Each structure stands twice: as C-alpha cells, then as structure tokens.
C-alpha cells in the first residue's frame, strides 16, 4: 500500500457512485417510505410525507418496470427486474431508470414538486454522461447540481430529524 493514498479522499468523485449508486438508490428508498425505516420505527414515527408513494402505486410501477423488459433492446439496458427488490440493480440499471424509464413511470405518481425535482436530476445526469461537455454545459451542470441539492434539502426536511448526528 502506498502511504500517500487515503481512501476515499485520494480519488475523484464519480457519477456512477455518487449519482447512481447513492443518490438514485436513496431517492427510491425515500419514495418507498423505507428511509431509515428501522430508526423511524424505534421512534414510533410513521412515514406520512407526501412524497412517500403507497404500496399499491409501487406494485403498479413494479409491473410496468418488469414488463418493459420485453420492449427495451438489450443494447440499451440489461433486464431491469423488480423495482421493489433492487438488491441486484447495478449502476447501469439505476442509470437507465433515472434517465429513461423513471420519467415515464413516476409521472402523475410523485407529487408535481418532487417529480419536477426528479426530472431536474434526470436532465442533469444526461448532461453529465455526454461524451463531450462544453464549458457552458459544465457551468450549467455545476449550478444545476447546486440548485438540485438545495431542492433536495427542501424535499426532505422532515427526514432531517432522523439523520445520524
């Protein structure tokens, strides 16, 4: 081991880990009402926030995601499987959901503010994953991510009381 390398501080943050395997995964968990579920249960708090989708909606989304496999060319995405059992989802799966499938299956299901906030992230991710990014696009990405984070903080203020100290 090289003494000057400190994990994770010696490496640049990347879209795959930050956006797809962390933020996107957490958003789905929040919308399911399972965010820090064990802690909220210990506190006797139930998730009644407007961004938590009822189980019946998740079941409908699950059917749509699962059945979409037959219409998505294999070159575009791997088999998606169940959205409610994401243990085997990869960054590629989250990416396809974030940019292509999510905007369709979440429309009219998430309240408008949260859906628009999600679309903002979806559009930013499309810019982030371009092969070439112009200086103007880089500025747009930077300011867009700052605005998205501020919006996220507004979206989940009720969760802040359950975060780790």
Identify the DSSP state of 54. P
Domain that holds residue 140: 15-162
pTM: 0.78
Q: Is 111 exposed, middle or buried (0-12, 13-18, 19+ CB in 10 A)?
A: middle
Nearest to 91 by CA among 20, 152, 28, 156: 20
In this prediction, residue 43 carries a pLDDT of 47
Contact 158, 49 (CB under 8 A): yes
Q: Would residue 6 count as lying in a domain?
A: no
Domain assignment present for 137: yes
Between residues 115 and 162, which one has the greater pLDDT?
115
| Domain-located, residue 9 | no
Question: What totals of helices (H) and strands (E) does the chain contain, helices first?
Answer: 8, 0
Residue 116: predicted pLDDT: 94
Q: What is the arithmetic mean of pLDDT over 24-37?
A: 82
Residue 165 to residue 143: CA distance in whole angstroms: 28
pLDDT tier at 50, thresholds 50, 70, 90: confident
Predicted confidence band of residue 162 (pLDDT cuts 50, 70, 90): very low
**How distant is the alpha carbon of residue 41 from its chain centre?**
23
Tens of pLDDT, residue by residue over 141-155, are: 999 999 998 988 877
Residue 144 in any domain: the answer is: yes
> Are 66 and 50 spatial neighbours (Cβ–Cβ below 8 Å)?
no
The verdict on residue 7 lying in a domain is no
Residue 35's CB: how many other CB atoms inside 10 A? 20
User: Domain tally for the chain?
Assistant: 1
Give the angle 143-31-82 at the CA atoms, nearest 5°.
110
Residue 89's pLDDT band (cuts 50, 70, 90): confident
Per-residue model confidence (pLDDT) at position 38: 46
Give the mean pLDDT of 112-129. 92
Q: What is the pLDDT of residue 121?
A: 94
Structure tokens at 52: 């938590």
pLDDT higher than threshold 80 for residue 61: yes
Supply the mean pLDDT for the chain: 80
Q: Is residue 8 part of a domain?
A: no
């Amino acid at each position: 081991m090289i003494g000057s390398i400190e994990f994770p501080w010696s490496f640049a943050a990347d879209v795959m880990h930050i956006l797809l395997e962390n933020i996107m995964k957490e958003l789905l968990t929040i919308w399911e009402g399972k965010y820090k579920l064990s802690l909220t249960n210990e506190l006797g708090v139930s998730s009644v926030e407007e961004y938590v989708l009822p189980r019946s909606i998740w079941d409908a989304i699950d059917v749509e995601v699962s059945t979409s496999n037959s219409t998505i060319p294999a070159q575009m995405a791997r088999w998606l499987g169940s959205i409610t059992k994401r243990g085997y989802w990869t960054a590629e799966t989250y990416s396809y959901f974030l940019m292509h499938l999510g905007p369709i299956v979440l429309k009219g299901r998430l309240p408008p503010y949260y859906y628009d906030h999600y679309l903002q992230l979806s559009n930013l991710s499309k810019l982030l994953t371009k092969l070439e990014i112009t200086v103007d696009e880089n500025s747009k990405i930077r300011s867009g991510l700052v605005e998205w984070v501020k919006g996220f903080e507004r979206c989940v203020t009720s969760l802040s009381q359950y975060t780790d100290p």
